[in-house]
Amino acid sequence: MQDQAGGRSGDSAAPDIKSVIDEESPFPPIRRVGVLRPFAWLKLGWQDFCASPKASLFYGLCFAGMGLLLSTILSNAPQYLSAMSCGFLLLGPLLSLGLYDISRRLESEKSRMLVTLFSMRGRWSNIGILALVLAVIMLVWARASLVVFALFYNKGMPTLHGFLSQLFSLGNLEFIAVYCCIGFIFASIVFAISWVSIPLMLDRDTDAITAMIISTVALFVNVPVTMVWALMIVALVVLGFFTWNLGLIVAMPVVGHATWHAYREVVGRHEERS
C-alpha cells in the first residue's frame, strides 16, 4: 500500500506537513499542513470513490435522495426548505460515517458496503453524544432561520418562485447578508467540532468530548487550510444542489472519502512524540 504522503496507510507526513507536538499534552500531535492540501485530499477521495464505486454510489444516492425528498416535500415552503437544506449540510459529517469507514478499510484492502453500515458498532455511546450535539445545533439553526424569514417577510412567507427571484435581486441584499452571517456562525461551529472528530472516533474509539476538542484545536492550528477546505466543500455541495441533487451522487462520497484523508494527515499518532 502507499504511504500517507501518497495518500494511503501509514503515518509519515507529506513534504508540506509539519507536526505540532507538545510532550506534556495527553492529546495526539496535530500536524500543520500546507494550504493546498485540500486539493490532494479531493484527489485521494476520488481515488477511493473509483476503488469502491458501488458502496460509494450507494451513499451518494442516499444523499441525493434526501435532498430530492426535502425539495419535493417543502417545495411550497422555502423558509423550511432553506433551513432544512442547511441543516442537511450541518449533519453531513455524521451522515458520512460509512464513507470514512470505506476509506479506512481500503487502506487495509478490506472494503464491503454491508460492513460499513455498521462501522460504529461498539462506539454508539461516543457517536451518540456528538449526534446529539449536532442535532441540537441543527434545531437552534432551524429556529434562527425561521426568525430571520419572519423578520424580513412579516407580511407573509414567499413562494419558492418568489423567493428565488428575490434572492438574486439587489433589493434583497440585507436579508441575504443577515441570513448568511447567521448561517456562517452555525456552520463554523459544526465544522470546528466535526471536521476530524468523527473519523477520529471511528479510527481510535476516542470519546466525543475529547474528539471535539482535538478537532477544534486542529482547526486553529490549520486556519488557512481549513478555510480553503470548507469553501471547497460548500462549493461542491452548492453545485450538487444546483444540478437538481444529481451532483450530490458523486460530490458527497468524494468529500466524505477526502475527509478521511484530511483526518489522517492532520491528526498524528502518539508514537510520533519524541
Which range among 11-15, 174-178, 219-223 shows the weakest confidence by mean pLDDT? Answer: 11-15
Give the contacts of 134 (CB within 8 A, at least 6 positions apart): 90, 91, 93, 94, 190, 194
Calculate mean pLDDT across residues 126-153.
Answer: 87
How many domains, in total, are found in the chain?
A: 1
Query: Per mean pLDDT, which of 68-77, 105-114, 194-203 is the most reliable?
Result: 194-203
Q: Which among 204, 202, 189 is positioned nearest to 127, based on CA atoms?
A: 202
Higher pLDDT, 164 or 181: 181
What does the alpha-carbon distance between residue 64 and residue 66 come to, in Å, rounded to a whole number? 5
What does the alpha-carbon distance between residue 137 and residue 118 come to, in Å, rounded to a whole number? 25
Domain that holds residue 197: 58-266
Q: Given a cut of 50, is residue 104 above it in pLDDT?
A: yes
**65 within some domain:** yes
**27 within some domain:** no
**46 within some domain:** no
- Look at the block and give the residue holding cell 464505486: 53
- Is the pTM higher than 0.85? no
**5 within some domain:** no
